[in-house]
Structure 1
Amino acid sequence: MIEPEVLAAYALIVLGFVFIPGPATLLTVARATTSGTKVGIATGAGITVGDFLHTIMAVVGISAIIAASATLFTIVKFLGAAYLVYLGLKAAFEKVAVDLGQGRVPISAPQAFRQAILAEVLNPKTALFFLAFLPQFVAPEKGSIVLQLTILGLTFAAIGLFSTVAYSLAAGRLGNFLRRNPTVLKWQGKVVGGVYCALGIRLALQER
Structure 2
Amino acid sequence: MEFSKIFYFLSVSIVLTLAPGPDNLFVMIQSITQGKKAGIATSLGLCTGVLFHTTAAALGISAIIYKSALMFKLVKYLGAFYLIYLAYKAYKDKNEILHPQEGEKLDSVSLYKKGVIMNILNPKVSLFFLAFLPQFINESGRSIPLQMVFLGLVFIMQALLIFTIICLFSEKLGEKIMHNENIWGKIGIVKSLVFTMIGLKMAID
Please state which band the TM-score falls in when normalised by the shorter chain: over 0.9
| Aligned alpha-carbon RMSD (Å) | 1.5
* Structure 2 residue 104 is matched with structure 1 residue 104: yes
Q: Give how far 1:80 is off.
A: 0.2
Structure 2 partner of 1:191? 190
* Structure 2 residue 131 is matched with structure 1 residue 159: no
Q: Give how far 1:100 is off.
A: 5.7
Structure 2 partner of 1:177? 176
**Normalising by structure 1, what TM-score?**
0.93
Structure 2 partner of 1:124? 123
1:35-184 alignment to 2 at 5 Å? Answer: 35-94=34-93, 95-96=95-96, 102-104=102-104, 108-184=107-183
Q: Cα deviations across residues 92-142 of structure 1 (Å, max 9, x unaligned)?
A: 12242665672338x632221110110000000001001010011112201
Give unmatched runs, 5+ long, in structure 1.
none
Between the aligned partners of 1:51 and 1:134, the Cα distance in structure 2 is 12
Q: Is the 8 A contact 2:97 2:187 kept in 1?
A: no
Structure 1 partner of 2:15? 16
Q: Percent identity?
A: 34
- The number of residue pairs the alignment matches comes to 204
2:36 is matched by which residue type in structure 1? T
Between the aligned partners of 2:103 and 2:118, the Cα distance in structure 1 is 26
2:103 is matched by which residue type in structure 1? G
Moved over 3 A (4+): 97-101
In the superposition, relative to structure 1, how do residues 113 and 180 fare at CA in structure 2: closer, same or farther (>3 Å)?
A: same
In the superposition, relative to structure 1, how do residues 67 and 97 fare at CA in structure 2: closer, same or farther (>3 Å)?
A: closer
Give unmatched runs, 5+ long, in structure 2.
none
**Normalising by structure 2, what TM-score?**
0.94
